[in-house]
Amino acid sequence: MEKEIFTTKIAIVLEEGLQSWQELNITAFLGSAVASHFPQTMGPDFEDGSNVKYLGIFRQPVMIFSATTSQLKDVYKASRSRNLEIGIYTRPIFSTQGDENLAAIKNVKEEDQDLVGMLIYGAKGLVDRSLSGLKLHK
């Protein structure tokens, strides 16, 4: 089977120093943003040898990066300037749920958002340039 070449990239950037449960929570929630808005990123459902069906997953890798608070803000600005699709996760969302999450972001101006994670989706080259200098999450 020939390896598929993707022209788009899904990247998640996490602030350094978060607890493991926070990193996992942010990654799951931000990944769902791409899946819900860009169905072409999703592969078909799986079926095993017993004909049991399983939900499909992303067709392409999701790259996870670490960043300082300052780097996260820089990546945000670079991604916005390139008109990439962005999802954000802010610190207040750790203590809210449901519609409170929407209000936690709506009530804060863009430049004052306390970012702890973000998702970037778009043309691979543009995403790569926005992530310049970041290291993959370990």
Q: What is the pLDDT of residues 47-101, one digit of tens each?
A: 999 999 999 999 999 999 999 999 999 999 999 999 999 999 999 999 999 899 9
Mean pLDDT of the chain: 95
Nearest-5° Cα angle at 10, 4 to 12: 145
| pLDDT at 1 exceeding the cut of 70 | no
DSSP state of 52: -
| pLDDT at 120 exceeding the cut of 80 | yes
8 vs 121: CA distance, rounded Å: 7
Q: What is the pTM of this model?
A: 0.93
| pLDDT at 2 exceeding the cut of 80 | no
What local confidence, expressed as pLDDT, does residue 67 receive?
98
| Cα-Cα end-to-end distance for the chain | 30
**3.40.1490.10, 2.40.50.140, 3.40.50.10090, 3.40.630.30: which CATH number matches 8-131?**
3.40.1490.10
| pLDDT at 4 exceeding the cut of 90 | no
pLDDT confidence tier of residue 40, bands split at 50, 70 and 90:
very high
